[in-house]
């Protein structure tokens, strides 16, 4: 357990600290392996078989197969590593962001063009906007 987590009260945010880096090690290193085109091809051909090579937890494995990015963040996945997985699916970062926000991509883009998500109401759990 990390000694001090002053960031624990920020809503909708997982800081990739020592606990998460330890928990997510194999899951993130699996994602890293997708940087190589030959590994992307092998993964796409048989995801279950490819994942057998990586000693991640059953929850992480299910999260990868389901592309449950919000779930994977809580299981130690880091967004820059998970990006290798959604790039393999030919998703853009914008598409992945909209998916995490739970809105269609055009709606997310409209929000960003209007200045993005306001920090008001998003600084602390329970902050009123």
Residues that bind other proteins in the complex, under the rule CB under 8 A = 6-7, 10-18, 21, 25, 28-29, 31-32, 34-35, 37, 40, 70, 73, 78-81, 83-84, 87-88, 92-94, 96-97, 100-102, 108, 111-113, 115-119, 122-124
Angle subtended at Cα 33 by Cα 73 and Cα 72, rounded to the nearest 5 degrees: 10
Q: What is the DSSP letter of 72?
A: H
Given the complex with other proteins, which of 50 and 108 has the nearer CB atom? 108
Q: Whole-number minimum distance, CB 126 to other proteins, in Å?
A: 13
Q: How far is CA 100 from CA 41, 44, 53, 103, in A?
A: 26, 23, 27, 8
Other beta carbons less than 10 A from residue 44's beta carbon: 12
Shortest distance in whole angstroms from residue 81 CB to other proteins: 5
Judged by beta carbon, residue 64 or residue 96, the one nearer other proteins is 96
Nearer to other proteins, 62 or 111 (CB): 111
The nearest distance, CB 69 to other proteins, in angstroms, is 8
Least distance in angstroms from the C-beta of 25 to other proteins: 6
Q: Quote the DSSP letter at residue 57.
A: -
Residues with Cβ within 8 Å of residue 72, at least 6 apart in sequence: 27, 60, 63, 64, 82
């Amino acid at each position: 357990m990390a000694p001090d987590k002053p960031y624990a009260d920020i809503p909708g945010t997982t800081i990739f600290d020592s606990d998460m880096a330890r928990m997510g090690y194999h899951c993130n290193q699996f994602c890293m392996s997708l940087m190589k085109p030959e590994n992307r091809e092998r993964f796409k051909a048989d995801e279950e078989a490819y994942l057998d090579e990586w000693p991640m937890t059953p929850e992480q494995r299910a999260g990868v197969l389901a592309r449950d990015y919000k779930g994977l963040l809580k299981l130690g996945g880091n967004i820059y590593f998970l990006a290798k997985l959604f790039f393999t699916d030919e998703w853009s970062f914008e598409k992945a962001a909209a998916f995490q926000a739970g809105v269609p991509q055009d709606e997310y883009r409209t929000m960003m063009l209007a200045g993005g998500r306001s920090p008001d109401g998003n600084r602390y759990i329970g902050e009123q906007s």
